[in-house]
Structure 1
Amino acid sequence: MKRTISKERLASKSKVGIVLRPSTPEIKNSYLKIKECFEKHNIKVYLERNSANMINEDGIELDTICENVDFLVSVGGDGTLISVVRRSFSYNKPVLGINLGTLGFLTDIRLNELETFLDNLDKDNYRIDSRMMIKGSANLRTFFAFNDIVISRNSLSSMIRIDAKLDGRPFNSYYGDGVIISSPTGSTAYNLSLGGPLVYPLTDAFIVTPVAPHSLTQRPLVLPADFEIEFTISDNQGAVVIVDGQDIYEIEQNQSIKIQIASKKAKLLHRRERNYFEVLNEKLQWGN
């Protein structure tokens, strides 16, 4: 099958919502430069309220911003972008990541490249990538992950047993520190640090990776995203579910966590020429 670049385009490019990396008030000078750059291109800027409070500016609640802007911008690093994607997911707004540090896996625009990017945006020379999101449900609560959902032991003194089913049929029992269920986007995160596979980010698949398994026969597994995966906690200590490293939920013994592909996808706004394998080469120093 031939891989094609998405032809999706922004319906309008006149309004943008900006979210800043939290707990970094020194980011204000960078924000003012970013705002000036957008306004130079006749794009009205709306600053998210928590970000605004941090730098003593006027701000608006993110939900209100999402209802009114054409796209969103996260300023900081990959963690900030992941948070923005999750918080704005229901509004279906593309998110651009501006990185203020080193090149990220997700945030590929540096501050000194923003002017060039906006010139290209004016010319419709950009790309919108659609990325799979994971839908999880437990205890009548539903949550969405961009990178991964981690089921982890609740006690540092003991391992945890997790029984797994695929479409209702038992397929494995994990015994160790836990299990990671990663999206292809998240394959470069916690999954990678545990020896899990890298999966091209526009693929639809789950990566199930055991954390410190008791048995060496437990290996990472890549599954088509049309499966429903169910994990049941057999350990009497219970477990915790960690969503994108940002939200934590407690799960009791014999309770289950169901994992599915979300019905919608997250959208990332990128330079047209951005190449995933060049990012891997730089971040992972392949060939060095």
Structure 2
Amino acid sequence: MNKDRLQKIESAGFVLKPDSPEIKPIFQEIRKLFEERGIRVALAERSAAMIGERGTPFEKMCEESDFLVSLGGDGTLLSLVRRSYPWHKPVVGINAGNLGFLADVTIEEVPIFLDQLFDGRYRIDCRLMIAGHIEKASGAKVEFFALNDVVVSSPIPSKMVIVNASIEEERFNTYRGDGLIISTPTGSTAYNLAAGGPVVYPLTRAFILTPVLAHSLTNQRPLVVPADFAIELDTEKYEAIATIDGQERYEIEEGDRVFISVAKEDARLLHRQERNYFSVLRDKLHWGDRNW
């Protein structure tokens, strides 16, 4: 059982769902709840500008906060985890979106969550992060982190790409199709699931390689490998892009190489103690629902 705990519960840094100024009254009410319990609230500059308030530079907010809060959907949380990764602060997601696999504290549950936080009835899950980089044929290097997945695909929808994949420097497959997903267990319920990949328990230490609409008569199936294996990808013949957590995009040209490995530090997601992953799957995916 993970014994990771918050050192202090005195300050929280908030990031809001982008391009959503209508979220302002919700944030103000949540901020009031935090402050009534003695928790100082800092709001990232970009989010503050969106709702007409003064904010704190993102780096300063991450450095000075005891934990971080995303108010939005899973996309907001993914962005916050990735951007705040160098500070290794626990992140909790308050769900103002729709699906909410990761941002699992509802707006109505915030008072209960705060009570449980001070009572020590919470847990911090350590989630595997991808540490990757792209080595350009020119010699340039682009580094990135991902919590969900890295997807290599064509910049033009439905156009084929050819992706060569190696594990531990040994070539094992060439994928021809719409793309290839390299997913973490956290990301297994995202694009990986839609593409026919397996759902993997989020604390598992593994990578999932899932082809997207393989243009092949051979049996191209998803592959699960231990997370301590280093993965290398390159493309040929066709233009390609690497998309990080569905949010960042990098051009991949012939001669470029994409390297993927497990990050040295895990992401830290703060949850209510009673949160049950299998209940989330049942509720979100309607497993066992005969009326669905």
Coarse TM-score class (shorter-chain normalised)? over 0.9
TM-score where L is the length of structure 1: 0.96
Cα distance, 1:154 vs. partner? 3.4
1:225 to 224, 227, 245: 227
Q: Structure 1 residues 156 and 33 mapped into 2: Cα distance closer, same or farther (>3 Å)?
A: closer
1:13 to 9, 14, 22: 9
CA distances 1:194-250 after superposition (whole Å, capped 9, x unpaired): 110000001111000001101251110001001111111122x33100001111000
- Distance of 2:157 and 2:104 partners within structure 1: 37
Cα distance, 1:102 vs. partner? 4.0
1:106-185 residue pairs with structure 2 within 5 A?
A: 106-138=102-134, 139=136, 140-156=141-157, 158-185=159-186
1:74 paired to 2:70: yes
- Distance of 2:188 and 2:129 partners within structure 1: 13
Secondary structure of residue in 2 paired with 1:212: strand
Work out the number of aligned pairs and report it. Answer: 283
Q: Structure 1 residues 155 and 77 mapped into 2: Cα distance closer, same or farther (>3 Å)?
A: closer
The list of structure 1 runs, each at least 4 consecutive aligned residues, that deviate by more than 2 angstroms after superposition, is: 154-158
1:99 paired to 2:95: yes
1:42 to 38, 45, 52: 38
Unaligned runs of 5+ in 1: none
Q: 1:136 corresponds to which letter in structure 2?
A: G
CA distances 1:77-134 after superposition (whole Å, capped 9, x unpaired): 1000000000100100000100124451001111111111111111111000000001
Instruction: Give the structure 2 partner of residue 253 of structure 1.
Output: 254
TM-score where L is the length of structure 2: 0.95
Q: 1:202 corresponds to which letter in structure 2?
A: L
- Distance of 1:110 and 1:42 partners within structure 2: 21
Does 237-246 or 149-158 show the bigger shift?
Answer: 149-158
Secondary structure of residue in 1 paired with 2:62: helix
Instruction: Give the structure 2 partner of residue 23 of structure 1.
Output: 19
Unaligned runs of 5+ in 2: none
Secondary structure of residue in 2 paired with 1:177: strand
**RMSD of Structure 2 on Structure 1 (CA):** 1.1
Percentage identity across paired residues of the two chains = 52
Instruction: Give the structure 2 partner of residue 276 of structure 1.
Output: 277
- Distance of 2:102 and 2:27 partners within structure 1: 19
1:86 to 78, 82, 86: 82
Cα distance, 1:153 vs. partner? 1.7
- Distance of 2:159 and 2:15 partners within structure 1: 40
Q: 1:44 corresponds to which letter in structure 2?
A: R
Secondary structure of residue in 1 paired with 2:228: coil
- Distance of 2:81 and 2:164 partners within structure 1: 30
- Distance of 1:102 and 1:229 partners within structure 2: 33
1:239 paired to 2:235: no
- Distance of 1:57 and 1:174 partners within structure 2: 49
